[in-house]
Amino acid sequence: MPKILCKKSKFFIIFRRVKPHLKLFLLFALSINSIWASNPINQPLAINKTMQRMDGWRLGVGLGYAFYIGDQMDMVLTRNYGDFNELRTNLTLSAFKQLNQEREWGLVLRVGSFQSLKSSNTQGIQCNFQELQSVWQRTLNDNIDLLGKRATINVQYGFGAMFFKSQYFAVNPNFKTIDYVISSVGYGYDNRTNLNGRKLEDIPNKKFAAVFNLGLNLGIKISRNLSFYWENSINISSSNKLSGNIGKQSLVPPDSYFYSGVNLFYKFGMAGGRLTCPKVRF
């Protein structure tokens, strides 16, 4: 007659098959869990402390588009032209803390790129960047916390740094692809030649640049915890190499980009559903 295994014996059979370093982790997790479970009063207190530390913070993730602004730009938006598409998705991660009834401050991390074709789609630029900005927001309708009204209109301003690589290239109109790279920054094309036998101008390493932004955003409360923000901002860099055109000498005007995107935020604290004290019965 086959033996019937109890729950504990099944656990030990499975446990023996686990790799040694995972066993240590499992034992540690089980011990912490048993200590935690033995004192249930710790659970709401720990959650409450975490919520208190996050009071007034909103955390969000967003998607948007960046469009180049500078003396290498073309006013026509190019989409689905061979390998080229100027609508390139940028990812944004944000964390904002309310300072008072009118202002809040936050950090914004953006990873993205932009592309632009010009001269009747015979030349183009491309830039890939990572950027971190310190941003302040000021409400225009006295509703920075989205408690009094469902919407807020905010002016935003800030500064930060970007790490980028870029290239300036010629386009083959027959195949709608890059014909050859004219000059570049950060692609490591140093000591190479293009298809016409001319030496390729190149700055081999990626570059840092300061960046300043000024914009306007609209925030709409979806629920007690969630809010939706639509951001539109101009981001001005201290570099004239975002286009990849190393031949540019003047820093006036510097290269910039316009960003437009949407963000979904979760807010902690009073506006996000702070935990209340448990009721005591006598």
Summarised one tens digit per residue, pLDDT across range 39-80 is 555 555 444 554 556 778 999 999 999 999 998 888 889 988
> Is the pLDDT at 4 greater than 50, yes or no?
no
Q: Is residue 162 part of a domain?
A: yes
For residue 220, give the CATH number of its domain: 2.40.160.20
Percent of the chain with pLDDT over 70: 73
Domains identified in the chain, total number? 1
Q: Is residue 50 part of a domain?
A: no
> Is the pLDDT at 199 greater than 80, yes or no?
no
Of these ranges, 33-37, 113-117, 146-150, the one predicted with the greatest mean pLDDT is 113-117
Q: 93: part of which helix (H) or strand (E)?
A: strand 89-98
Of these ranges, 50-64, 81-95, 241-255, 260-274, the one predicted with the greatest mean pLDDT is 81-95
Say how far apart CA 114 and CA 108 lie, in whole Å.
18
Give 229's strand partners.
219, 263
Give 256's strand partners.
69, 236
> Which of the 8 DSSP states describes residue 4?
P
Q: Is residue 27 part of a domain?
A: no
Q: Is residue 1 part of a domain?
A: no
Residues in Cβ contact with 268 at an 8 Å cutoff, skipping those fewer than 6 apart: 51, 54, 55, 56, 57, 58, 59, 274
- Phi, psi (rounded to 5 degrees) for 46: -65, -40
Say how far apart CA 223 and CA 59 lie, in whole Å.
15
Q: Is residue 63 part of a domain?
A: yes
> Is the pLDDT at 277 greater than 50, yes or no?
no
Give 61's strand partners.
93, 264
Say how far apart CA 177 and CA 82 lie, in whole Å.
6
Q: Is residue 78 part of a domain?
A: yes
Q: Is residue 150 part of a domain?
A: yes
Residue 8, helix vs strand vs coil: helix
- What count of Cα atoms within 13 Å lies in the side-chain half-sphere of residue 126? 19
Domain that holds residue 201: 56-272
Distances (CA, A) of 59 to 140, 160, 208, 239: 21, 19, 26, 30
Percent of the chain with pLDDT over 90: 56
